Amino acid sequence: ISTDDRGNLYLADIGGDGIARTYSAIHRVEEPDPADQFGPARIEQSWFIRFPGAREDCESFFVLNGYGYLVTKARVVGSVSIWRFFMGSATFSTLEFVASIETAGNVADASLSADGRRLAFITNDGVEVFFINGNPASISRDARADTELSLEDMEGVAFTPNGLLVTRDGAICVRHVGVRSK
């Protein structure tokens, strides 16, 4: 689940989990009223995306400047990859490689700060925050801050006005960005 700078809500069906399929899907939906206890979310637009080569497992999606970005989950030789597609009028898109970045662990979620300057990854070792200044292609291990957390099953991360909101199975924990720089 992600949002963009206009408040649109996106549901990304991008995980692998052993599913054999050609395309993954991103859906922009009308945000449901939290007062409603049930009911479908109305899909406003869908994009069907695929990798140019072998399909990769992803759990992270964010939107920036008209592009949808996916971050691969599993590290390959210590790094994960960032891919993107243009969210213009095309319904079917082939992802474009953006960057590769070394991480401490597998990436379970990513979040972009409201100003587009920071990109956070939640891994099994904690939170890694990269200073991208609105350009994910500029991601670098030299421009980052880490927060080590000793929580199991960390699944989600989101920027808040006071830091980062980290979620895990059955619990929420708030941590601030930039505890330790590398």
Instruction: Please write the tens of the pLDDT for every residue from 136-160.
Output: 999 988 877 777 666 667 788 888 8
C-alpha–C-alpha distance, residues 55 and 34, integer Å: 35
Q: From CA 2, how far away is CA 137, in angstroms rounded?
A: 20
Whole-Å CA distances, 146 to 11, 33, 58, 79, 107: 27, 35, 22, 16, 14
Q: Which residue has the tokens 């991208």?
A: 132
Considering the entire predicted model, what is its pTM? 0.87
pLDDT confidence of residue 180: 35
* pLDDT value at residue 145: 75
pLDDT in tens, 154-182: 788 888 888 888 887 776 666 554 433 33
pLDDT of residue 19: 66
Other CB atoms within a 10 A radius of the CB of residue 65 amount to: 14
pLDDT per residue as tens, the chain (182 positions):
888 888 889 999 988 666 667 788 999 998 777 777 777 778 999 999 999 988 888 999 999 999 999 999 988 888 999 999 999 878 899 999 999 999 988 899 999 999 999 999 998 888 889 999 999 999 988 877 777 666 667 788 888 888 888 887 776 666 554 433 33
